[in-house]
Amino acid sequence: MMSSLWIILTGALIASSCAFLGCFLILRRMAMLGDAISHSILPGIVIAFLVSGSRDPLPMFIGAAVFGLLCTIIIQLLRNQGVQADAAMSVSFTALFAIGIILISLFTQQVDLDLDCVLYGEIAYVPYDTWTWSGVDMGPRAMWGAGAAFLLSLIIVRLFYKQFKLTSFDPALAMAIGIPVAIFHYLLMGLVSITTVASFESVGAILVVAMLIVPAATAYLLTERLGVMLGLSVLIGAICSICGYLLSVMLDASIAGCMTMVAGGLFALAFLFSPQQGVVTRWWIRKKLRAQF
Amino acid sequence: MTTKTPPLSIENVSVAYHRKPVLRNITYQSPEGECVGIIGPNGAGKSTLIKAALGLLPLAGGEVSIYGKPYSQQRKLVGYVPQRESVDWDFPTNALDVVLMGLYGQLGWFRRPKSEHKDRALEALRKVGMESFAKRQISQLSGGQQQRVFLARALAQEAQIYFMDEPFVGVDAATEKAIVQVLHELKEQKKTVFVVHHDLQTVSEYFDSVMLLNLRLIASGPTNEIFTTENLQKTYGGRLAILPPQTNDLLSTQ
């Protein structure tokens, strides 16, 4: 029972923190960035492993975060030179991922660096990897990692809400009134890197990529205010975790898969029945209007 | 030209995209308190000139100063109306909120907009006849209404110099009237306004002076002296097929 609660709580924290930042990714049309980051950190993990000689989480986390940020910097440099946004993204992360694969095949063949376990964690094991602090069991390590990343994002976005909003909506005006647009871009990308890395090592890449996009896209359909969109996406993330876990118990299926499926289902509902933009809603309104004339 | 510091002074400015020059050796000193039309064919560098003046593009050479100082020290004196197509109007926000963005510069790094700022934003919306749309989601506004929201945002900045990038393109009659009204008010307040403009028919009506631009500055000065067939032909080359009727009238009276 306790372990169920840990899984739901960890899942909710990860889903909410990803969804929160995902709102800005969607508004900046960078939805696939999470996917890019989750691949591009492979060389960072391998290098951290080679340098530290261990599979301690901290060096791995730092290596991964550095390469996640490096990937976003390369993407931005390419875009500034006129390469299309999606092409720049694909070129950067595939190249970095390939470097990681080459490093593994060159240096780590004799060592046990299980890619599946490093890259694609499983949320079901989260309760067994706990954090002990001065002798007290504090609960799953992943939960603390995700919680810390979420808190960091909340604080930074709250402090610079104006700047994040304006640089997302109208970067030209932002620049004209003296907001350092590039710094806020990298600040956001840094937060996405940290959140991605803190999350997917324990819960799997698919869940992270899904949670970066789907709850935010759902919230986008339901509201016309940025603040409300941020709040809604966090709520949707939490709902995905709770309902997804219950569904996985019922079906006896993959937890991350079920959480992602719930997210997809909620998106479909919003797509069809959103009060302003829903496909069915608009059809219904048109039908009523026709009946009037 | 008076000896006072001009609102906008451009010294030998060149701008290049990649290696292709888009503006060459522009030197210009603006009059104060006038409405200046920036006229020229597509690709002449009109928007580029505005962006260069606002520090949005790196200069390949030369210097821009606003009341005698670099732009980075004079941001609060300058209001900017970008092209309407430059932003995503599906962004989840309403008209009032967009106008409030004009005040972010004055709010500094950490302050949030308060009710006094909302009042100022509403006042700016009222000036462009959009106060009843304050709470309207911006994607539900017509093109002309969106343009007026952008104009209101610049008004809220309460600047001394305004740069407007093609505010008259694709707008309805009500919006055109509102913009002209605003230009008049700004001029009465002795503010200097630069407007990138396409419609040659209305140039003499709207602008006190003009800048004729085609990669180089072809001519600049009071509209009635500079906006001539000869200068227009120099600016547009062979591409100008039909001259506006006002121009012909103007020439026949000279």
Q: What is the pLDDT along chain A (293 residues), one digit of tens a residue?
A: 678 888 899 999 999 999 999 999 999 988 888 888 888 888 888 888 888 877 677 888 888 889 988 998 999 899 888 888 889 999 999 999 899 888 888 876 665 555 555 555 677 777 877 887 777 877 888 888 889 999 999 999 999 999 999 999 999 999 988 899 989 998 998 899 888 888 877 777 778 888 999 999 999 999 989 999 999 999 999 999 999 999 999 999 888 889 999 999 999 999 999 887 888 888 888 888 888 77
- Which residue from A82, A177, A229 is facing B75, i.e. has the nearest CB? A177
**Length of chain A measured in residues:** 293
Element (H, E) at B9: strand B8-17
| Cα angle, residue A225 at apex, residues A223 and A230 outer, rounded to 5° | 85
Yes or no, beta carbons of B92 and A82 under 8 Å apart: no
- Closest-CA distance, A97 to chain B, in angstroms, reads 30
Encoded amino acid at A177, one letter: I
Residues 6 or more apart whose Cβ sits within 8 Å of residue B143: B84, B170, B171, B172
B19-32 confidence digits (pLDDT tens): 777 888 888 888 88
- Which residue from B82, B104, B107 is facing A172, i.e. has the nearest CB? B82
B5-21 confidence digits (pLDDT tens): 888 888 888 888 777 77
DSSP E strands: which ranges in chain A?
130-133, 136-140
- Residues B46, B214: contact at Cβ < 8 Å? no
SS3 B126: helix
Least confident segment among A34-43, B200-209, B235-244: B235-244
DSSP string computed for B186-232:
HHHTT-EEEEEE--GGGHHHH-SEEEEEESEEEEEEEHHHH--HHHH
- Residues B93, A226: contact at Cβ < 8 Å? yes
- Closest-CA distance, A168 to chain B, in angstroms, reads 9
Say how many CA atoms lie within 13 Å of A21 toward its Cβ.
35
Q: List the structure tokens of B102.
A: 């004009």
Residue A7 Cα distances to A15, A288, B4, B236, angstroms: 12, 46, 71, 69
Element (H, E) at B25: strand B20-29
Yes or no, beta carbons of A225 and B55 under 8 Å apart: no
Q: Strands B78-81, B216-222: parallel, antiparallel or unpaired by DSSP?
A: unpaired
Q: Indicate the pTM of the whole model.
A: 0.86
Q: Give the residue carrying structure tokens 């960035």.
A: A33
B142-163 confidence digits (pLDDT tens): 989 999 999 999 999 889 999 9
Yes or no, beta carbons of A166 and B137 under 8 Å apart: no
DSSP E strands: which ranges in A30-172?
130-133, 136-140
Interface check A173 vs B, CB under 8 A:
yes
Name the nearest CA neighbour of A148 among A66, A58, A223, A252. Answer: A58
Residues 6 or more apart whose Cβ sits within 8 Å of residue A114: none
**What is d(CA A257, CA A50) in angstroms, rounded to the nearest whole number?**
32
